[in-house]
C-alpha cells in the first residue's frame, strides 16, 4: 500500500497570502521586521534555513510565534481554499487505495476544522503535527514506527525545502510541489526525488 503524506499550508491549502498577513501582524509583538514585497520575492528563492535567517526572527521565539500564528489562522479557516485540482487528486488517491496523511507545523485543530469545512475528513487516515519548524522528520519516523509502514512505499509532498529535508532524513520519497511558498528553482536545487507543478501530477507519478 502506498502512503502519501502531505504538508498542509502551501501544499494542500492556499494559505500563503493569509499566512504572510498574520505574520506581519505579529512582527511588532515578536520583534522582527514585517515582510515587504521585495523581501517576500527574495524568500521564494531561499532554502528554509536561509529564509529564517533573512527574516530576522529570533530562533528561540519560533515555537511561541508558530503557536500564536496557528491561533490566529484558526479565525481564517472559512476563508482558506484548496489549491486547484487538489480535491480531485485527493479523492482519486483515496479511491485507488492509498493511505493519506498530513504532517505539518500547523495545529491538528486547524487541520481538522479545515478538512471538516471542505468535507474531506474521511479522506485522511492520519494527522500529525507539532510546532517545531524543522521537526517534521521526527513526526514521519514516528508514523513509520507506529504504523509499521514500509518506507519504500511512503511519499512526502511539500512546498518548501525543509519538506525535502524531512523526507530525506526519514528515508521516504520527497515530492516537491512548486505551487506553494518556494520557487521551483530552489526546490530543484535541493534534489527532491520528484518535482511536480500541479496536484494531478501525483496520480501519474504514483502509477508510473
The yes-or-no answer on residue 125 being catalytic is no
Catalytic residue, from 7, 14, 159, 163: name it. 7
* HEC assignment per residue over the chain: CCEEEECCECCCECCHHHHHHHHHHHHHHHCCCCCCHHHHHHHCCCCHHHHHHHHCCCHHHHHHHHHHHHHHHHCCHHHCCECCCHHHHHHHHHHCCCEEEEEECCCHHHHHHHHHHCCCHHHCCEEEECCCCCCHHHHHHHHHHHHCCCHHHEEEEECCHHHHHHHHHHCCEEEEECCCCCCHHHHHHCCCCEEECCCCHHHHHHHC
List residues with catalytic annotation: 7
Amino acid at each position: 500500500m502506498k502512503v502519501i503524506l502531505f504538508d498542509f499550508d502551501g501544499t494542500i491549502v492556499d494559505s500563503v497570502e493569509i499566512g504572510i498577513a498574520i505574520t506581519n501582524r505579529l512582527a511588532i509583538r515578536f520583534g522582527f521586521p514585517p515582510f515587504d514585497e521585495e523581501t517576500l520575492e527574495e524568500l521564494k528563492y531561499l532554502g528554509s534555513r536561509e529564509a529564517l535567517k533573512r527574516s530576522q526572527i529570533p530562533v528561540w521565539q519560533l515555537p511561541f510565534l508558530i503557536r500564536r500564528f496557528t491561533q490566529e489562522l484558526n479565525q481564517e479557516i472559512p476563508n482558506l481554499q484548496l489549491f486547484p485540482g487538489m480535491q480531485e487528486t485527493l479523492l482519486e488517491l483515496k479511491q485507488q487505495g492509498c493511505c493519506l496523511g498530513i504532517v505539518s507545523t500547523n495545529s491538528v485543530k486547524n487541520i481538522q476544522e479545515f478538512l471538516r469545512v471542505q468535507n474531506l475528513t474521511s479522506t485522511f487516515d492520519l494527522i500529525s503535527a507539532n510546532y517545531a519548524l524543522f521537526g517534521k522528520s521526527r513526526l514521519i519516523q514516528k508514523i513509520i514506527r507506529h504504523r509499521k509502514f514500509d518506507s519504500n512505499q511512503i511519499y512526502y509532498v511539500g512546498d518548501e525545502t525543509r519538506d525535502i529535508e524531512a523526507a530525506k532524513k526519514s528515508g521516504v520519497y520527497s515530492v516537491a510541489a512548486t505551487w506553494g511558498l518556494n520557487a521551483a528553482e530552489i526546490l530543484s536545487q535541493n534534489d527532491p526525488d520528484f518535482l511536480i507543478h500541479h496536484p494531478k501530477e501525483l496520480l501519474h507519478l504514483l502509477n508510473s
